[in-house]
Structure 1
């Protein structure tokens, strides 16, 4: 999978950007972004959360369990992890985008004088942010930086990142996002590991990348995973991906190639061998059986 953060960082000609330590503010140029996307689907991941405002265009975010259609004048917070972009190649996609590490969010919220006003709720990987007047004014002020010829001072950028987090955190309508912020501050580490794995098992990430998403070294990740799941991560991932693939095959709209891709397998042949070894039948047999039952 492609690291979205690194891809943006390495493409300054496509994405005009300002940096502030590990955080990054950037704006997508619509026509160039459309040409950069070569296929309809792109599998990406990021070790950082990101928040963006859609100026023009639309995309669909596919996660392990849901899909989210995002269009013009929408503000969205995407939690760190993996997803599949569905692109509309005939359109550009113009956004103002902020990558925001967990640590930066936590340090900003710890300095907040008023406690977070939140009720625990289910936290989706993709969260729609309430488009309040203060947030609209914030994006307007940030957009003006991109019309300037010189780059803003990093200390000013850091203040803008803090302003963004505090603005969304001060809005009680952002209950789901506030719950996520609270989880960053207070959630036990074993819960965060489970959340990352349950939401990202069907993506073809390397073990080192799973470790990075859980803020652990590879050795610590493997040790903690064994404590939580009582099995090795590779074995657990294969079992979860095969079960996910079986569910997709029983959805009669999915081809074997689509099922393999959406279940995190490297290629169709590896998927077919693993599937037959686990279930005793080839994926094609499941497809044929479902076709007969129509």
Structure 2
């Protein structure tokens, strides 16, 4: 494949290919996703656990969550994946057509590994075949394939019914627990507020009650404290950790770190190295 980065999108059906190039980043997942790993490896992290998906595997990713990802092509090969996004509009249409409703059962799982079977494999193969033509430019065909995907999900894992057809916004959850898990995601306060089931004003008010400081101040101090630990205790370097800790760029991270600790992150490593040498 000549292009180093190809991303072909047909409405809610996305085929991605990264030519011999690993990628890392983070994202907010607004819609449920059925993902098929064609080649290479994908690793997702929700702040607590990592979920690896290898060649030929399927997984279901629940909406309204923050994830970090890393995508790795095989040796001398290309990273390729297929993603089917199920929007709330699509699922509400399906719910009306098939009279399927959620029983509003509590569910704490966010990422599901699906057992590969001939039906899921045939479904993925059909979408890969269609991408070579213009058939998925047809909105009716897209709707048919999305509904087919929902039916297969319900057959593969019936428990997904209570997740797929839960159309409620996030409910109000424990703020302290959520923020301690997700502080390293670089998202706007509005997103944190929504995911904790609060308006922005309520989020800020509740936050100061819990932590005693503003959200922006707490986030920066929390990230810098973790950075200091990783650099001083674990020997990490700034360029390897600043993105993982929610900083947008290296220069901003270095400036904030030096302002907080009186020394640049690179100098902190030097001090640590010197102390090790002197002890020897």
What TM-score do the two structures reach when normalised by structure 2?
0.70
Matched residue SS, 2:47: coil
CA positional deviation for 1:271 = 2.4
Q: Is the 8 A contact 1:116 1:169 kept in 2?
A: no
Q: Is the 8 A contact 1:41 1:85 kept in 2?
A: yes
Provide the C-alpha distance between the structure 1 equivalents of 2:215 and 2:98, rounded to a whole number of angstroms: 38
Q: Does 1:158 align with 2:146?
A: no
> Cα distance 1:78–1:273, how it changes in 2: closer, same or farther (>3 A)?
same
Q: Residue 18 of structure 1 corresponds to which residue in structure 2?
A: 10
Q: Residue 249 of structure 2 corresponds to which residue in structure 1?
A: 267
Select 2:119's aligned residue among 109, 134, 149. Answer: 134
Residue correspondence of structure 1 range 110-259 to structure 2 within 5 A: 113=99, 120=106, 122-124=108-110, 126-151=111-136, 153-172=138-157, 180-181=163-164, 184-185=166-167, 188-191=170-173, 200-207=182-189, 210=191, 214=195, 221-230=199-208, 232-249=214-231, 252=234, 254-259=236-241
Q: Does 1:100 align with 2:86?
A: yes
CA positional deviation for 1:67 = 3.3
CA positional deviation for 1:128 = 2.0
> Cα distance 1:86–1:15, how it changes in 2: closer, same or farther (>3 A)?
closer
Q: Is the 8 A contact 1:47 1:212 kept in 2?
A: no
Provide the C-alpha distance between the structure 2 equivalents of 1:111 and 1:264, rounded to a whole number of angstroms: 42
Matched residue SS, 1:14: strand
Q: Is the 8 A contact 2:40 2:54 kept in 1?
A: yes
Select 2:36's aligned residue among 53, 56, 59. Answer: 53
Provide the C-alpha distance between the structure 2 equivalents of 1:262 and 1:276, rounded to a whole number of angstroms: 18
Bigger CA radius of gyration: 2
CA positional deviation for 1:147 = 3.7
Matched residue SS, 2:242: helix
CA positional deviation for 1:16 = 3.0
Q: Is the 8 A contact 1:56 1:93 kept in 2?
A: yes
Q: Kindly report structure 1 stretches of 4+ aligned residues shifted beyond 6 Å.
A: 192-196
Q: Is the 8 A contact 2:224 2:257 kept in 1?
A: yes
Select 1:67's aligned residue among 14, 37, 50. Answer: 50
Task: Report Cα offsets for 1:193-216 as digits up to 9, x if no partner.
Answer: 8897565431333446x2697499
What TM-score do the two structures reach when normalised by structure 1?
0.67
CA positional deviation for 1:74 = 0.8
Where do 5+ consecutive residues of structure 1 fail to align? 1-10
CA positional deviation for 1:26 = 2.2
Q: Is the 8 A contact 2:37 2:57 kept in 1?
A: yes
Provide the C-alpha distance between the structure 1 equivalents of 2:29 and 2:60, rounded to a whole number of angstroms: 14
Provide the C-alpha distance between the structure 2 equivalents of 1:86 and 1:64, rounded to a whole number of angstroms: 17
Q: Residue 27 of structure 1 corresponds to which residue in structure 2?
A: 15
Provide the C-alpha distance between the structure 1 equivalents of 2:124 and 2:52, rounded to a whole number of angstroms: 21
